[in-house]
Chains A and B, each alone.
Chain A
Amino acid sequence: MVSTQKDPVLAVLSLSGGNDGLNTVIPYNNPLYRDYRPTLGIPEGQIISINDQLGFHPTMGPLKKFWDEGKLAIFLGVGYDNPSYSHFRSMDIWHTCEPDKIGTEGWLGRVLKEIDPTAENVLCGVNFGRGLPRALVMEGVPVASVGNLETYGLLTGIDGEGQRDQALDVFGRMYSPAMGSGAVMDYIHSTGTNALKGADILATAPDKYTSEVEYSNTDVGQYMKNIAQTHLAEFGSRVLYTTSPYNIFDTHANQASLHSGLWSDVSNNVDTFYQDLRDHNASDNVMLLMFTEFGRRISDNGSGTDHGAGGIAWVVGENVKGGIYGEYPSLEPSQQEEGGNLKYSMDFRSIYTTIVEDWFKMDAQPIVGGSFEKVNFL
């Protein structure tokens, strides 16, 4: 059981595009790996071994630290029945937990609704990036979507602090409750007031923040920093979400250098993120989930890999029981998913169920849309 005095917080980093699991957690002792990856196989001497079967991509040294500390859970062969090889559809399935029909509500939107049913805290959920991921969509749940925390707010295009302050002052008065102008107008007024309130609060986060660490100057680095800043500012945010640049893990070609760059960036920033929180004594109630919509084809195509099935997901946190969860999908031809792909063995909703029940202490069934066996990483 988890015991945290502070409210549990979930940070999410979505690895958009379909990360190549085979070259991330590498079954380096499996001879079939070499057969299927004649071009893209990682030379054995460079692999960072984590046990006698598996090793990390050479750029993942910073994550190895969490592995050694026993605070990194790795989920193998994660997926769902009848895998979709479409980025968009598969992401939707992960976001809505609806593999058979098009869903409109996100699983984290449902979590937020449960935490704050009357939307008292407009910053209960915050997304970093433009547009709202479907995972966070839910009727009656206001989620701020922040393209850039340093400049986030209303009327950000107005030059000059004095002028902008004046404009925001007028804005606040224009959006104050109006009597008798109709239900839709009233609703827009209250939404505008909420947005202004949320923006005003969020705008204080960068000023409150001091830190010894340096995040990389990439989208992932800056958004992980924004998540840390928002958490450290203690606004009561419970779900902090971001996504790598759109489809950047979609390494059909030139994978060797692309994938190294991506995992170097992710590993370093996750390390920096926890270092930052630890320096502020604020890491114990934050868990980080990393997932991707699917893994990639077992065989490389000479330069990259194509869309595949079973992938890898990760959870990092002070309360996490580190280790390997699930079975590495077999590379044997007879055991593969149709089309030369890894067969999933763990439903992604098992991971969600564990997070919802053992981290957020809620009934998972209505949130993930069914009963799934928990994975005991908490």
Chain B
Amino acid sequence: MADQQDVALMAHLLRRAGFGASRDEIEAKAAQGYDSVVEELLNPSSVPNVEEDLLMRYMPAYHEAAAIETNIQAWVWRMINTPRQLQEKMALFWHMIFCAGHSKIDSGQEMGRMIAMFREHGMGNFRNLLWLLSTSPAMVYYLDNSESHKENLNENYGRELLELFSLGVGKDEEFNYSEDDVKACARAFTGWNIAPSYPPFPYGRSPWEFRFDPADHDDSEKTFLGETGNLNGDDVLDIICKQPATARFVARHLYNFFVADDVQIPAWRLTPPRDMKAIEAMEQAYFDSGYEIKAVLEVLFKSDFFKAEDVRFAKVKNPAEMVVSTMRLVGEHRDIQPGLFEFSQEPKYMGMDLMNPPTVEGWHTGREWIDSGTLVERINFAADLMGNTELPGVQSLVGRLMAQGDSLTPDQFVAGCLDLTGPLIVTDDTLQQLRAHASKDGNLTTANQAEFSRRAGEMFQMIAATAEFQFE
């Protein structure tokens, strides 16, 4: 039997390395043991895949769908249902860094293929991932490498590869590359193109494939980050991956996504990491393993800096996390049923239009998820689900609360609900308000089960409305 501390730590791991879990799942995993669960998360093939064939059987139109909405629905369904939670979390992680957006690409199918690539390779080798990214048709088009020619260079991909996908502008107050490096990088990637070319009108769209055109590749000598030669894109990726700046880039992004909110990427040159020791440990793992993301993740999840109390609830949930983790907790759409479309649009209402990031820099995270419009959406969404005592997950929480005793004092009632919905840690002020609210109707007794259920649902709603619930 896992104790309370184990449950709290496991809940923390499953919120970060996945999209949360039901209380039953949290307790079962806590009993399984922390390191064993980390191993399972890091080795997705050790657990069954999500039953995608079932989804396709009920909804055949999901197969290689052209419509963006269908691809988003399939992705949200997968986030909710896949037993390989970290794998899906990593697909979201890379989508938030290696940004390409539907507003330009205009093909749900290409976006779906790109996310599938992140899913399959997101915990693999970073060098390989950058190569797949550089040959991803969606990216080649999104950042205009398809418009970059031997005789007419377009620097867009060359620049963003360095600035936003690998080195970052700078670290420790130094710059990581020069404008000449940007040009050399762009030249090395000339000829990395796609077929068929854009636009698809008037004959409609065929799937894109990567195509290298040797005749359009700039074969002349280049100097990139101090190395000179007849460099092509592969050489450039080799040079990028061995830079300390790239290790820093990977480590800072993983920290910001999995551990605690930190400043956004434009500030990284001048603002040191929130926890330099943590970053250094991950940088070391990056080099020791030969750029394996899984090795860096293993260090992260097994570290004290990840398990520490002070990083719990130190991250504002992104909209996908808010939507999916709430749905997992309350047991909504954990099978195949109609109504997925509306749920899959919820992240967009909260400011995260999945598969369509606002710019190549992606979404800013942390407090920037919150404004007066998105906060209303977040609170109402979570409160509606958490207060719906018809849902299996909520019923299970109510049942657990009933099992705590025939009569709960208001303080016990609040403590029980906070424990079951997290365990969520709230400030003293919030706790006092929730207790005052609970006191109005006195002790919570199982004598009247309908009333018990109603009051519990209302308390879950109030908890979903707290500022603390915005964090994970």
Selecting from A13-21, A180-188, A368-376, the interface stretch reads A180-188
The reply to whether B359 and A170 contact each other, CB–CB distance below 8 Å, is no
Report which of B104, B387, B388 forms a contact with A89, defined as CB distance below 8 A: B104
Question: In the complex, A122→B87 CA distance in Å?
Answer: 41
The reply to whether B373 and A102 contact each other, CB–CB distance below 8 Å, is no
The reply to whether A194 and B372 contact each other, CB–CB distance below 8 Å, is yes
The reply to whether B367 and A188 contact each other, CB–CB distance below 8 Å, is yes
The reply to whether B359 and A157 contact each other, CB–CB distance below 8 Å, is no
Selecting from A70-78, A137-145, A325-333, A342-350, the interface stretch reads A137-145
Cβ of B427 within 8 Å of any chain A Cβ, yes or no, is: yes
**A131 touching B348 in the complex, CB below 8 Å, given contacts A157-B387, A170-B433, A339-B202:** yes
The reply to whether A170 and B202 contact each other, CB–CB distance below 8 Å, is no
Q: Closest CB of chain A to B454's CB: distance in Å?
A: 9
**A144 touching B106 in the complex, CB below 8 Å, given contacts A157-B384, A166-B437, A174-B430:** no
Q: Closest CB of chain B to A337's CB: distance in Å?
A: 12
The reply to whether B379 and A155 contact each other, CB–CB distance below 8 Å, is yes
> Which chain A residues border B101 with CB–CB below 8 Å?
102
Report which of B348, B358, B373, B434 forms a contact with A144, defined as CB distance below 8 A: B373
**A92 touching B433 in the complex, CB below 8 Å, given contacts A167-B458, A174-B465, A178-B427:** no
Cβ of B59 within 8 Å of any chain A Cβ, yes or no, is: no
Report which of A88, A171, A181 forms a contact with B106, defined as CB distance below 8 A: A88
- What 0/1 pattern do residues 113 to 148 of A give for CB contact below 8 A with B? 000000000100001001110100000001111000
The reply to whether A198 and B372 contact each other, CB–CB distance below 8 Å, is yes
> Which chain B residues border A127 with CB–CB below 8 Å?
373
**Chain A interface size range:** 35 or more
Cβ of B345 within 8 Å of any chain A Cβ, yes or no, is: yes
Q: For residue A86, which residue of chain B has the nearest CB?
A: B106
**A174 touching B384 in the complex, CB below 8 Å, given contacts A102-B101, A155-B461, A163-B458:** no
> Which chain A residues border B375 with CB–CB below 8 Å?
188, 191-192, 195
Cβ of A85 within 8 Å of any chain B Cβ, yes or no, is: yes
The reply to whether A191 and B433 contact each other, CB–CB distance below 8 Å, is no
The reply to whether A192 and B467 contact each other, CB–CB distance below 8 Å, is yes
Cβ of A199 within 8 Å of any chain B Cβ, yes or no, is: yes
**Chain B interface size range:** 35 or more
Question: In the complex, A166→B433 CA distance in Å?
Answer: 12
The reply to whether B372 and A142 contact each other, CB–CB distance below 8 Å, is yes
Cβ of B360 within 8 Å of any chain A Cβ, yes or no, is: yes
Question: In the complex, A366→B379 CA distance in Å?
Answer: 35
> Which chain B residues border A361 with CB–CB below 8 Å?
none
Report which of A102, A144, A189 forms a contact with B104, defined as CB distance below 8 A: A102
**A199 touching B104 in the complex, CB below 8 Å, given contacts A158-B387, A171-B465, A307-B201:** no
Report which of A85, A88, A339 forms a contact with B102, defined as CB distance below 8 A: A88
Cβ of A284 within 8 Å of any chain B Cβ, yes or no, is: no
**A167 touching B462 in the complex, CB below 8 Å, given contacts A86-B106, A155-B379, A178-B427:** yes
Report B446-472 residues with CB < 8 Å from chain A CB.
Answer: 458, 461-462, 465-467, 470
The reply to whether A154 and B104 contact each other, CB–CB distance below 8 Å, is no
Cβ of B239 within 8 Å of any chain A Cβ, yes or no, is: no
> Which chain B residues border A340 with CB–CB below 8 Å?
202
Q: Closest CB of chain B to A139's CB: distance in Å?
A: 9
Question: In the complex, A134→B440 CA distance in Å?
Answer: 44
> Which chain B residues border A191 with CB–CB below 8 Å?
370-372, 375
Question: In the complex, A173→B467 CA distance in Å?
Answer: 12
> Which chain B residues border A87 with CB–CB below 8 Å?
106
Cβ of B48 within 8 Å of any chain A Cβ, yes or no, is: no
The reply to whether A88 and B103 contact each other, CB–CB distance below 8 Å, is yes
Question: In the complex, A353→B146 CA distance in Å?
Answer: 34
**A306 touching B202 in the complex, CB below 8 Å, given contacts A102-B359, A155-B380, A166-B437:** yes
> Which chain A residues border B353 with CB–CB below 8 Å?
131
> Which chain A residues border B359 with CB–CB below 8 Å?
102, 104
Question: In the complex, A321→B101 CA distance in Å?
Answer: 40
The reply to whether A174 and B102 contact each other, CB–CB distance below 8 Å, is no
Q: Closest CB of chain B to A227's CB: distance in Å?
A: 17
Cβ of B338 within 8 Å of any chain A Cβ, yes or no, is: no
The reply to whether B106 and A174 contact each other, CB–CB distance below 8 Å, is no
The reply to whether B427 and A187 contact each other, CB–CB distance below 8 Å, is no
Cβ of A66 within 8 Å of any chain B Cβ, yes or no, is: no
The reply to whether B467 and A175 contact each other, CB–CB distance below 8 Å, is yes
> Which chain A residues border B261 with CB–CB below 8 Å?
184
Q: Closest CB of chain A to B314's CB: distance in Å?
A: 9
**A199 touching B376 in the complex, CB below 8 Å, given contacts A166-B437, A187-B370:** yes
Question: In the complex, A167→B383 CA distance in Å?
Answer: 11
Report which of B102, B373, B377, B470 forms a contact with A142, defined as CB distance below 8 A: B373
The reply to whether A158 and B461 contact each other, CB–CB distance below 8 Å, is yes
Give 27 pairs: A residue, B residue, CB < 8 Å, sorted on A.
A88-B103, A89-B106, A92-B103, A102-B359, A102-B360, A104-B359, A142-B371, A142-B373, A144-B372, A145-B377, A154-B465, A158-B387, A167-B458, A167-B465, A170-B436, A170-B437, A178-B427, A184-B261, A184-B316, A184-B366, A188-B470, A191-B372, A192-B375, A192-B379, A195-B373, A199-B376, A340-B202
| 9 new A-B contacts at CB < 8 Å, known A154-B465, A170-B437 | A102-B101, A132-B351, A170-B462, A174-B433, A185-B467, A188-B375, A191-B375, A192-B467, A194-B372
Q: When A and B form their complex, which 9 residue pairs have the shortest distance between CB atoms, in order from nearest?
A: A88-B103, A157-B384, A86-B106, A142-B372, A145-B373, A195-B372, A188-B467, A131-B349, A184-B367
Residues of B within 8 A of A (CB): 101-104, 106, 199, 201-202, 261, 316, 345, 348-349, 351, 353, 356, 358-360, 366-367, 370-373, 375-377, 379-380, 383-384, 387-388, 427, 429-430, 433-434, 436-437, 440, 458, 461-462, 465-467, 470
